Structures are given as C-alpha cells and as structure tokens.
Amino acid sequence: MKKYIVLIAAVMALSSCNDEFLDRYPQTSVAPEEFFKSEEDLELYVNGLLTMAGPGSYQAGQSSDNMATTGAVEIKNIVTGTPSSQTLTGGWNWGTLRNINYFLDNYERAVASEEAIAHYVGLARYYRAVFYFGMVKRYSDVPWYEHTLDPSDDEQLYKTQDSRERVMTNVMEDLKFAVNNVRESVPSGTPGLSAIKAFYTRLTLYEGTYRKYHSELGLEGSASDFLQKARDMASDIMESGKYSVYSTGHPESDYATLFSSQDLMGNSEVILVNAYDATKDRSGDVNTGVFGDYEQSPSRDLVMSYLMKDGSYYSSVPNHMQLGFVDEFQDRDPRLMQTVAYPGWVRAPNSVPYIQGLNKNFTGYHQIKGYQNTTDNIEISSADFPAYRYAEVLLSYAEAKVELNELTQADLDMSVNLLRERAGMPALNMVEANMSPDPFLVAKYPNLSGSNLGVTLEIRRERRVEFAVEGYRYDDMMRWHAGKLFENIPQGMYFAGLGKYDLTGDGVEDIILVSKDTTIPVGDEKEKNSLGVDLLYYKAGTIDENVDVFLENGEDGGMMVTETKARTFEEPKYYYRPVPVQQVTLNPNLKQIFGWN
C-alpha cells in the first residue's frame, strides 16, 4: 500500500519506546563504547529520538477558542479554577532531553565520515531545540543542560533556572548547526533540511511576536531579531522552489485533501509527512474524538471567523448574529465547509444528508477536518498527517513582514493570496484591509493599532482559518497576548426559539424544539415532515433546566450555551505555568515566576 511505511513504522516504533530502548544506555546494560561504533549506530539512536505532530493535533483545538470541550483541558481548568503548583504538576519532564544529551555526549566514539556525523548531530540538536521550545513556551525560564545530568553533580542537580534569553540563545545555536549540517535527502517521514528550516521559521516567529507583545519579559528590544530570522528563513524556503500550495483547481475539495489523504508523500505542500498505515501497525484513527459529541465541538466564534466567499466580512451581513445553521453557511469561504459539517453534508455510509445532533454542553457544530468519512477501518486508520506544511511558511513570512512594518502587496501576493487562490477566495488587498478593519477582529486584539491594523488582523484571520483545528491556535493566542479570549465561554448554533428547523438545507424541517414540560411522543405519534420522516425532538431551555438543548434565553432562543462557569485569565501569570511543587521541594533553588506559588 505504502512502501515507505515499513521504514516509518520501524522509526516510530523506536520513538515510541524510548523508555525501553534509549533510557537503558545511560543507566545500565550497554556502555557507550560498545554501542556508538558506526554510522548505523548513530542512525539507529537518532531515529529513536524522532518526534513530530500527528492526528492527535485535530483535537488540540480544545485548548483554544476554536472549540467547546467537556474534557479536563488544562487551560480551561486554569481559567475556571484556582490553579497552583500543587494542581499543575505535569510537563516538568526531562527524560527526552537526557536521551538527546546522551547521544551528544557519546557520538564522537563512532567511526563515520565527518558529513555523516554532522548530519546526525544536527538532527539531535534539532530535537533538543524542539524539546526546549516546548519547555520555554510553558515555563519561560528553565534550566539549560548541555550534557547528560550526572547524579553525583550537586551543582547541576540543584541549579536554578536559566533565563529565557539564555535558553533561547542556546536553542538558536542548536538550530543554526542543524540548518548547516542536516541532509536534504533523508528517509521518507523523517525530518530533513527543509523540515528543520520550517521549524526554525515557526520558532523564530513565535519568539519574536512573544517578546514584542509580552512586556513583562522586558525583551521587546530583541523581538525584531527573531522576526527577521523568521522572515529570512521563510524566504529561503520560498525561493528554493521545492514546495508549492497543493491545488488541482478544485477549491471545494483541495484543502480537505491535505487532511484525508492516504498518501501525502510527494504532495507539493507537505514538507514533513507523518505516515500511517493500519496494515503496518501504524494506526492514526481519531474519528471518535474528532466527530460528534465526544468532548469537543467547534465554536460559533470559529464559524464566524470565516469570510464571505466574495471576501467581505461576515460581520457585515445584516443580522448575522441571528442567522441559523443553514443561513450562516451560505456563500462562505470554502474552507469552512471543509472544516465543519455543513447543511447537506452526507456522512458515510448514509446516502441522505446528516442532521446535526444536538446535545448538552455542545455547540451543535461538528468537525470534519481530520475526520475520515468512510466506514473502511483501514482507511480511517491510514490517513497521513502533514506535520509541516508550506502554508505555514507562507503565513509566517507574511506575519513576520507585517510585524517588522515591511509588508507590501507583493509580499501578500506571494504568500497569503496563494492560499486564498487555492480556496477560490479573492486576494487580500492591503490598502482595502487597512481602510476598513473588521470590527469582529478589532475587538479580539485590542493591543493592536497603527496604519497596518487591518492587514495584520487579516493575516491573523488567515492563520486561524487555514490552520483551524490543527493545533496552532493556542500558541497563537498566547504569543499575541490574547489570553483574555480564554475568558469567553464557547457558544453554539443560533435558534430563534421553540419550533421546527431545517438543518440540511433542503427547506424541509428536520428537528423540533419543544418546551421542557412537553411529553415527547413516541412511535407513530411523532410529527413527520413533508418527506414523511419523523422530526427529531429536543427539549429546549436554560442550562439549569432538565432539557436537551441549552439556549441563552431558554425557550425564547439565542445561541446554544455550553457552560456558565465564569472564566478569569490573570495576566501575565496565566501565560506561564508554575514549577510543580514536588520539584521545588526536591530543589529549593527553583523559583516561581509571575505570582505562581
């Protein structure tokens, strides 16, 4: 089916069993002088360090305003609870770093060419950069360990955190080495030079914008250095000509193909593929978690973020806040219908349109991006995941340029507008965007201003839309200093009140909302629509009533309500996480920042 999957399965098997395979070397059975002998040994060890995003990313939107969730998601628990170092105990894990540093401390024992050694060292340093990027995003200041930790070295065991500035300087040195030494041609499904450059672009854009918008760090003066690096690396990838936006001229389906393909190897847009094949023990089945009423449902705020098909703002549509499910999907950016189940969408194996299922604490919307619409279990489990996409490089380039106040229309045409063209959308015009910014977006980012306000907002919209439910939104909200958006409780579809509603777009009612005191009929007593099909009955009311559908104004209608518990995002504290109390007990030299205790 996929010839390259055998290699990927072997590599990922090593990656998934680090505790069994890698951890034993620093601890017990095999001395480094007996293992690190050849290039094959270096390859085997570094393959065991492999880490990249997978289909679980389709559920990462629960940590952002793109989704409502009933899950125990950390950020939701933080803004609705009383978090502390006693309750936030995850994340302070250094096992991966130990494995990386063990390699970097011992690779010189191997007999291999200088080029080969440099390649594998570059990969190891890339993985160390990936590790530390995750730690810095979570804690900001963390201890930097250059070498494998010696249990007898009290100075290292009990050291305090290094500054974010120092850690990121070291991370950039790792990435610089990786960019200069990692091969372009590598085994399928493993990171080569282009993947390293894509990550370099992601990290530098994140750090540049984070420093720019987070004055509590006192690092605003170095923000432009990172943004320039993001701009230049993105430009380097673009000028290489190796990648292009995937398009076959079918805007109604091309975008969705990236998330439903059984084989992304060779796709012009995918820089790094995470390959799956259930017949080779590589299953990527996330259908249950992605679709339906299992923990997550797209928010109406996400749905409202998409433009009209003619490029105009949805917020400009008359009475847009009171539009029902069928009307709000009319004439929208085609990417919306390739992300969220739309009126008329047919779910396999059925031949008739799916009727949105309504449920307590959910929005009524259903995610189809990342959902494999088939009953074939092999196909469901064998869709590849695009770990790095060229689309991200293009949008990182545009964002870095506008943040540096360098953006031109030509820049937009070679970046954002290539993605809009794929979607069949009008090009983004810089002058028009700046003349009339969308009030919907202006309200979300009150810390933005200036002559490029409108186009900055549109680039941010494009990121949200293009990467919806791929796991990007949480990081974007954090780096843009948009934490207050976490205070908004996700809402769902709008209903005017009790009565019958068409949810498939054929003009025929499918459901009926009735009062909480109604006795729902059974069997032949149920009312049928004009097609002779039983209506689906739901009791509607407020969230504190025993009903099926929670509406803002109860029987008088409004948007669906997912919960009511107040949310508070404390700035700047909640942009960071505390060091778990157990770690501070073991090492009193570790310090909490920004009011954590």
3-class SS at 527? coil
Nearest residue to 369 (alpha-carbon basis) of 469, 296, 465, 299: 469
The pTM assigned to this predicted structure is: 0.95
- Distances in Å between the Cα of 463 and the Cα atoms of 207, 316, 395, 473, 477 are 17, 21, 7, 8, 11
- Spatial separation of the C-alpha atoms in residues 429 and 383, rounded to whole Å: 36
Among residues 171, 179, 180, which one has the least CA distance to residue 196? Answer: 179
Question: What's the rounded Cα separation, in Å, for the pair 537 and 191?
Answer: 51
How far is 566 from 127, CA to CA, in rounded Å? Answer: 39
- Backbone phi and psi for residue 481, each to the nearest 5 degrees, phi listed first: 60, 45
CA distance 239 to 252: 28
Distances (CA, A) of 85 to 143, 161, 180, 569: 18, 16, 40, 17
Report pLDDT for 150: 87
Contacts by 23-29, CB closer than 8 A, 24 or more apart: 23/95, 23/98, 23/99, 25/102, 26/98, 26/99, 26/102, 26/148
Q: Using the 8-state DSSP alphabet, how is residue 419 labeled?
A: H
CA-nearest of 392, 454, 440 to 419 is 392
Diameter over CA atoms, the chain = 81
Residue 224, φ and ψ in degrees, nearest 5: -65, -30
Rounded to whole angstroms, the Cα distance separating 382 from 372 reads 9
- What pLDDT score does 292 carry? 84
Q: What is the pLDDT along the chain (597 residues), one digit of tens a residue?
A: 454 554 444 444 444 444 443 344 454 445 787 889 999 999 999 999 999 999 999 999 999 999 999 999 999 999 999 999 999 999 999 999 999 999 999 999 999 999 999 999 999 999 999 999 999 999 999 999 999 988 888 889 999 999 999 999 999 999 999 999 999 999 999 999 999 999 999 999 999 999 999 999 999 999 999 999 999 999 999 999 999 999 999 999 999 999 999 999 999 999 999 999 999 989 999 999 999 888 999 999 999 999 999 999 999 999 999 999 999 999 999 999 999 999 999 999 999 999 999 999 999 999 999 999 999 999 999 999 999 999 999 999 999 999 999 999 999 999 999 999 999 999 999 999 999 999 999 999 999 999 999 999 999 999 999 999 999 999 999 999 999 999 999 999 999 999 999 999 999 999 999 999 999 999 999 999 999 999 999 999 999 999 999 999 999 999 999 999 999 999 999 999 999 999 999 999 999 999 999
3-class SS at 298? strand
542-551: long-range pairs with CB below 8 Å, 24+: 545/516, 546/516, 547/516, 548/358, 548/359, 548/360, 549/358, 549/360, 549/495, 549/513, 550/360, 550/361, 551/495
How far is the CA of 595 from the CAs of 143, 196, 202, 572, 573, in angstroms? 19, 36, 29, 9, 6
